[in-house]
Amino acid sequence: MRVRLIVWCIVALLPFSLSQAIHAQTAALHAIHVEGMKNLTEDQIIYLTGLKDGAQVGRSEMQDAADALVRTGLFSKVAYKFDTKLDQVDVTYHVDENPRLPVSYDNFPWYDDSELNAAIQKLLPFYDGHLPQAGDVVERAADALKQFIAAKEPHAEVTHQVVLSPLSDGSEQQFTVVGLVPKIASMEFSDGKLIEDARVRAHLPEILQHPYSRMTIDLFLSEQIRPIYQQEGFLRAKIGPPVVRLAGDPNTQKLTEQIPVYVPCDPGAVYKWNGVDWKGNSAISTITLTSTLGFKAGDVADGQAIFGAWDKVREEYGQRGYLEAKVTPVAVYDDAGHTVSYDVSVVEGTQYHYGSMIISGMSLTGEKMIRDAWTLKPGDLFDKKVFEDFLFRLESRRETIFKDLPVHYDTVGHYLQTDPAKGSVEVLLDFK
């Protein structure tokens, strides 16, 4: 009985002994588990830890692996726990993933995105076209692209930065080649009418023979070409994506500096105006709001004019003291009848009255002349147009306010400080 009791004591103490030993010694890694993953798989995260089954690990190695995960930039937080079993250890990592951004290649015109993606995937097998804002994996992706280009241009560098996407509301991780300066040699459109359009010809010099950049091209198409379609009622015109048309195989020849660009365009159908449905308005009638837009049923739907019309509605509210009114239009297309109508949601917010004016950076005489020229009295309904017209006079027609008084300022800082609880607004003017 005595011998048997001693054996059971040893067995009972064994897990405790191994748990203590793992702090200062190592044990064979039996299994790795991951919790909390969303976009990456467990195997992909295990790959990033650098740990291998069977390797001798202690607390230091497990912590190093957690630190390595954080350094990738893919995770905002990493915690771990471990469990010892005889002479082996199981470790479980809990991760919180960081948001990831779509990747764009700004000035790699010689290669398809698929080739560049494959170059990164050789170094980062989990890469799927998205990367975090910063971290080791972004640097390694840049290195992969640099190595890919090195066969042609060994002195080229690759940089990266987070930029706002020119075609959406989000951001993207943009890679750029430094040391090469390809230029836009030409730009052709599948829609022949665009080439004949005087507006297009007038704007093309803004981009031709300028450094090749996808972002520059996308902005040009968005700001110069799309409005032409919009004005003529082609509200659903498809423009791009632009295509580089190089002669020969870029893998077997020198990287050319002159880049021809081809833009596929499908204008689609011309749409006509078919009215608007207002929701949420009470201070201004539906008839008045519709009249403010200035469109009639059957008119060609000028997309640019429609875009500006929503600002007119906001201005109408601003003149009535609703300084924070929100107007949200949603287009409803009838593709069969080629008409467009809009469902418009209005949140009017608080109606404000004028409270007071605070002026800084102006002489006492000048301040008095400003207050004399200001037409609103405390308690008056605040008219934003009155305020904007007054600012215009201060900035561009100062003689209408100061007469012959010599005043010296370069800028007028201005701010409307609202108090929703009181429904009042203070005008702040700062002369510098």
**Residue 413 and residue 406: Cα distance in Å, rounded?**
19
Query: Does 3.10.20.310 match the CATH number of domain 272-347?
Result: yes
Work out the pLDDT band at 14, boundaries 50, 70, 90: very low
Q: Quote the percentage of the chain above a pLDDT of 70.
A: 93
For residue range 275-296, list pLDDT tens digits in order.
Answer: 999 999 999 999 999 999 999 9
- Asked whether the predicted pLDDT for residue 16 surpasses 50, the reply is no
- Asked whether the predicted pLDDT for residue 9 surpasses 60, the reply is no
- Domain residue ranges in the chain: 2-97, 102-266, 272-347, 354-431
Q: Which residues contact 400 (CB under 8 A, 6 or more apart)?
A: 373, 393
For residue range 97-156, list pLDDT tens digits in order.
Answer: 999 999 999 999 999 999 999 999 999 999 999 999 999 999 999 999 999 998 888 889
CB-CB neighbours of 36 under 10 Å: 14
SS3 content of the chain, % helix, strand, coil (to 5): 35, 30, 35
Q: What DSSP assignment string belongs to 359-387?
A: EESS-HHHHHHHHHH----TTSBP-HHHH
Radius of gyration of the chain, Cα coordinates, nearest whole angstrom: 33
**Residue 82 and residue 62: Cα distance in Å, rounded?**
9
Read off the tokens for 141.
């992706």
* CATH classification (class only), 2-97: alpha beta
**Residue 42 and residue 54: Cα distance in Å, rounded?**
18
The pLDDT, as a whole number, for residue 253 is 63
The CA-based dihedral angle spanning residues 357, 359, 365, 371, taken in that order and rounded to the nearest 10 degrees = -20
- Asked whether the predicted pLDDT for residue 431 surpasses 90, the reply is yes
DSSP, collapsed to helix, strand or coil, labels residue 221 as helix
The pLDDT, as a whole number, for residue 195 is 85
Query: Does 3.10.20.310 match the CATH number of domain 354-431?
Result: yes
Query: Whole-number mean pLDDT of the chain?
Result: 90
**Do 272-347 and 354-431 agree at the fold level?**
yes
Expressed in angstroms, the distance from the first to the final Cα of the chain is 96
Confidence (pTM): 0.76
The pLDDT, as a whole number, for residue 252 is 56
For residue range 31-82, list pLDDT tens digits in order.
Answer: 999 999 999 999 999 999 999 989 999 999 999 999 999 999 999 999 999 9
CB 208 within 8 Å of CB 184: yes
Work out the pLDDT band at 402, boundaries 50, 70, 90: very high
Work out the pLDDT band at 247, boundaries 50, 70, 90: confident
The pLDDT, as a whole number, for residue 1 is 35
- Which residues pair with residue 189 across a beta bridge? 263
CB-CB neighbours of 246 under 10 Å: 15
Please state the separation of Cα 292 from the chain's center in Å: 32
**Residue 209 and residue 271: Cα distance in Å, rounded?**
36
The pLDDT, as a whole number, for residue 282 is 95
Residue range 169-173: mean pLDDT, rounded = 90
- Asked whether the predicted pLDDT for residue 24 surpasses 70, the reply is no
- Asked whether the predicted pLDDT for residue 2 surpasses 50, the reply is no
Antiparallel, parallel or unpaired: β 101-105 and 171-178 = parallel
DSSP 8-state class, residue 310: H
Residue range 184-198: mean pLDDT, rounded = 92
